[in-house]
Structure 1
Amino acid sequence: MLTDKLTELEREYHFVERDLADPAVLGDPNRLRTLTRRHSELSRIMDLWREHQQLSTAAREARDLLADPEMHELAEADLLNSTTRLGAIETELDLLLIPSDPSDHKNAILELRAGAGGDEAGLFAADLLRMYERYAEQAGLRITVLDANESDLGGFSKVTAEVMGEGAFKAFKFERGVHRVQRVPATETQGRIHTSTVTVAVLPEAEETEVELNPNEVRIDVFRSQGAGGQSVNTTDSAVRAAYRPGTPDEIIVVCQETRSQIKNREKALNILRARLAERQREAADADVRASRQAQIGSGDRSEKVRTYNYAQDRVTDHRLQGDDKNFPLGKVIAGDLSPLVEALQRVLRDRQIAEMADAGV
């Protein structure tokens, strides 16, 4: 079965190489970008597959020499080396053959909303935003805040940001869900621990070709950008509010006031609108199969509690993990060191996918 799949991928690899040499493809940036990315994915698989074939031949030759007394010792060593490396290659190929999320390479839209806890929830939202900014910097990504509703205490009731860079969605997709904090708020005078929540949504950025927006269904309003407490930070009407099917149950409202350019803010607002519509379409398509099959760790539902930040115990607990693997040092996580946590979640997802593929006989 593995050989059949790799033979199929080898044919695809040759087709991709052929297309990359086509002048028509070179003149199409979107097509070229897609093929280049796929070529990179397949190149690693093909390198391992060729090494696997060479080692398989070497292993067969070594077995044939085992019967020769003069060559037995050398053949035995060669056979051990070949079979050991073959095992490692097969393990890596199994991982590389797991279907990847087609959105992993995309930019991401990050939304934080303060939930239960009042002002403390808003302060926690600000803490999470700083954590994500540090994490993005460590991952070679960039976060730009597009819109934020700031509170008098320096927190946020809502923040919308764009995460840009190759693999942005892959790096952030496990953050979606409800994040809970347990700590003594700065406003607490009696030292009591409070529990507050922030809901995090992470959407892959949708391209124009993925979601078609009907201009008749979108209302664009412009207004003057505002800072904290209503203080004007701009003297022109550059902020943009995009409303999809306003006044209907399907209504989606997006606000962007990141730049002083109304044109750029309009473009970013429509990008977010497309991302939300694409997510709505994905949720509708997946609704029938979610109960029987999970394609990601947990349901990915925004109401699902995914993580608790316990300041008294100086730890972060991710509820999608098990045993000792679910706890991480709070100080490191809040400082943006999310990689160990994300990698643990990726391993759980990978193991689940391998099991599903085995059950399906893939």
Structure 2
Amino acid sequence: MLDRLQALADRYEKLNELLCDPDVVSDPSRLRSYAKEQSDLEEAYRAYVEYKKVVEQLREAKAMLEEKLDDEMREMVKLEIDELTARQKELEERIRILMLPKDPNDGKNVIVEIRGAAGGEEANLFAADLYRMYVKYADSQGWRTELLEATVSDLGGFKEVIFSVEGKDVYRKLKYESGAHRVQRVPETESGGRIHTSTSTVVVMPEAEEVEVEILDKDIRVDTFCSSGAGGQSVNTTKSAVRVTHIPTGIVATCQDGKSQNDNKAKALQVLRARIVEMKRQEEEAKISGERREKIGTGDRSERIRTYNFPQSRVTDHRIGLTLHRLDAVLNGDMEEIIQALTLAEQTELLQKENRS
């Protein structure tokens, strides 16, 4: 571990030099690449620097005990040793977590798809609640969201809504949201006051770069049609909506919320690339015979991951057994406690795996 940390520290300091190199500064691509690499290493580097400092201070304090000291000074040194020992253990644990294998997609932006599932119109209304929850959470994180496609239901919910989220470490935090979200409440359409259970599904996909997924013109069919829904007179008269079909896989992406046909085509291709990567990911997982991925962040669309119970103002994440009695706050974007708990559970699982190996 110490050898790995020293190699990491050496690389971080080398990147400091490279980022000051005129040849690198004049090359935006290399500059961006090195800056991102350094940013990814920074937290572990800072922890290692502090760890070395604490170890050295601890060595010096223990050496002082070998000297002739009066009782008061000896007690002060012992207290310092206790504090430094506790800090050393904290740093060791933090460094172990920072050195765990990282998901290569953690730093990527995402495309999120939410669909009303079981429960008819109530499921669509809940899909709209989830969309607002994620947008508000993104705002609290300083991220940017953009609506890519939406199919509005009769009562103002979403049969389907697709949007992008851009910012720092978006996938790292939102990847746990994929799965079936269940709501228990009295629907607006229920006159008898009975509680119904409905579900909406969420899929979080890391945004794919063009270099990751090459989409050839010969492999796609592009159809244009008139947009539907709100938007003014031009909505129904201009063929600005775009449907892109990837012929080899049969995957389809549609966009009509952009300002122009070109804008909609670019957004549809963005969604298409992410869906192709997601399909490949699922195919890879299917090859792992009989071996289920870790329960945290499986992304299994059929898996019930969380329940939102309105009568009890309760949110329960079934993967980690976490229950919070502040439903309104969560639906208003206060999701950080849930996401931090899921992150900790995943890190604990990885540490246990590392210890077993």
- TM-score after normalising by structure 2: 0.91
| Other structure's SS at 1:68 match | coil
Amino acid in the other structure paired with 1:217: D
Q: Does 1:326 align with 2:323?
A: yes
Q: What corresponds to 2:67 in structure 1? A: 68
Matches within 5 A, 1:135-284: 135-227=137-229, 233=235, 235-245=237-247, 250-284=249-283
Amino acid in the other structure paired with 1:101: D
Task: Measure the CA separation in 2 of the matches of 1:95 and 1:283.
Answer: 27
How far apart are residue 272 of structure 1 and its match?
A: 1.0
| Other structure's SS at 2:307 match | strand
Q: 1:283 to 1:7 in 2, by over 3 A?
A: same
Q: 1:344 to 1:204 in 2, by over 3 A?
A: same
How far apart are residue 352 of structure 1 and its match?
A: 0.8
Q: Does 1:352 align with 2:315?
A: no
Q: Aligned residues, how many?
A: 354
| Other structure's SS at 1:187 match | coil
Q: 1:196 to 1:230 in 2, by over 3 A?
A: farther
Q: What corresponds to 1:343 in structure 2? A: 340
Contact 1:328 1:341 in 2 (8 A): no
How far apart are residue 45 of structure 1 and its match?
A: 2.0
Amino acid in the other structure paired with 1:237: K
How far apart are residue 153 of structure 1 and its match?
A: 1.1
How far apart are residue 208 of structure 1 and its match?
A: 0.7
Task: Measure the CA separation in 2 of the matches of 1:182 and 1:232.
Answer: 40
Determine what percentage of the aligned residue pairs are the same residue: 43
Listed as ranges, the gaps of 5+ residues in structure 2 are: none
Contact 1:181 1:310 in 2 (8 A): yes
Q: 1:311 to 1:75 in 2, by over 3 A?
A: closer
Q: What corresponds to 1:108 in structure 2? A: 110
Q: 1:345 to 1:34 in 2, by over 3 A?
A: same
Amino acid in the other structure paired with 2:354: M
Amino acid in the other structure paired with 1:104: D
Q: What corresponds to 2:10 in structure 1? A: 11
Task: Measure the CA separation in 2 of the matches of 1:72 and 1:19.
Answer: 47
Task: Measure the CA separation in 1 of the matches of 2:65 and 2:201.
Answer: 63
Q: What corresponds to 2:299 in structure 1? A: 300
Task: Measure the CA separation in 2 of the matches of 1:222 and 1:22.
Answer: 49
How far apart are residue 35 of structure 1 and its match?
A: 2.1
Superimposed CA distance per residue, residues 176-227 of structure 1 (whole angstroms, 9 cap, x where no aligned partner) = 1001111111111212221111111110100011111122111111222211
Q: What corresponds to 2:124 in structure 1? A: 122
How far apart are residue 38 of structure 1 and its match?
A: 1.9
Task: Measure the CA separation in 1 of the matches of 2:262 and 2:26.
Answer: 27
| Other structure's SS at 2:67 match | coil
Q: 1:328 to 1:142 in 2, by over 3 A?
A: farther
Superimposed CA distance per residue, residues 141-183 of structure 1 (whole angstroms, 9 cap, x where no aligned partner) = 2222111111121111111111122222223211110011111
Q: What corresponds to 1:317 in structure 2? A: 316
How far apart are residue 331 of structure 1 and its match?
A: 1.3
RMSD (Å) for aligned C-alpha atoms: 2.3
Task: Measure the CA separation in 1 of the matches of 2:272 and 2:30.
Answer: 24
Contact 2:175 2:297 in 1 (8 A): no
Contact 1:149 1:228 in 2 (8 A): no
Amino acid in the other structure paired with 2:342: L
How far apart are residue 290 of structure 1 and its match?
A: 7.5
Q: What corresponds to 2:39 in structure 1? A: 40
How far apart are residue 26 of structure 1 and its match?
A: 3.7
Task: Measure the CA separation in 2 of the matches of 1:298 and 1:165.
Answer: 20
How far apart are residue 117 of structure 1 and its match?
A: 0.9
